[in-house]
Amino acid sequence: MRRRSQLYVPANNPRMIAKAATLDADSIVFDLEDAVPLEEKVTARVSLGSALGKADWGSRHLAVRINAPGTPDGQADIVTLAAEPRITTLVIPKAEADLSPLARATGKDLIPLIETPTGLLHIEEVVRSERAIAVSYGPSDLAASIGGEIRTWERNPYVRTLIAVAAAAYGLDAIDKVFFDLKDLDGFREEALDAKRLGYVGKQVVHPDQVPVANEVFSPSPEELGWATEVVGAYEAAAREGRGAIRVRDRLVDAVHYRLAKRTLERAKA
- Among the residues of the chain, which ranges form H helices? 14-20, 41-52, 72-81, 100-106, 117-121, 123-127, 139-146, 150-154, 157-169, 185-198, 210-217, 222-240, 255-269
Same domain? 128 vs 36: yes
pLDDT at 269: 74
Same domain? 184 vs 242: no
Instruction: Provide mean pLDDT across the span 251-264.
Output: 81
pLDDT digits (tens, 9 = 90+) for 218-236: 998 778 777 778 778 777 8
- Give me the residues paired with residue 6 across strands: 27, 204
pLDDT at 1: 81
Same domain? 186 vs 253: no
Domain boundary among 178, 193, 217: 217
pLDDT digits (tens, 9 = 90+) for 142-171: 999 998 899 999 989 999 999 999 999 999
Query: For residue 95, what is the domain's CATH number?
Result: 3.20.20.60
Same domain? 184 vs 70: yes
Distance (Å, rounded) from C-alpha 115 to C-alpha 23? 28
Is the distance from CB of 25 to CB of 2 less than 8 angstroms? no
Same domain? 126 vs 242: no
What is the domain range of residue 254?
A: 222-269
Give 93 or 148, the one with higher predicted confidence.
93
Give the SS3 label for residue 106: helix
Same domain? 80 vs 192: yes
pLDDT at 75 over 80: yes
pLDDT at 145: 93
Same domain? 13 vs 72: yes
pLDDT at 129 over 80: yes
Give 115 or 50, the one with higher predicted confidence.
115
pLDDT digits (tens, 9 = 90+) for 31-45: 999 999 999 999 999
Indicate the range of 96-110, 142-156, 171-185, 251-265 predicted with least confidence.
251-265
Same domain? 15 vs 92: yes
Is pTM, for the whole model, over 0.75? yes
Indicate the range of 1-5, 55-59, 260-264 predicted with least confidence.
260-264
Domain boundary among 217, 232, 257: 217
Counting the structural domains of the chain, the total is: 2
Distance (Å, rounded) from C-alpha 118 to C-alpha 90? 20
Comparing C-alpha atoms, which of 93, 89, 45 is closest to residue 70? 93
pLDDT at 112: 98
pLDDT at 238 over 80: no
Same domain? 230 vs 159: no
Same domain? 112 vs 232: no
Percent of the chain past pLDDT 70, that is, above it, reads: 100
pLDDT at 59: 85
Question: What is the residue-averaged pLDDT of the chain?
Answer: 92
Give 6 or 268, the one with higher predicted confidence.
6
pLDDT at 268: 76
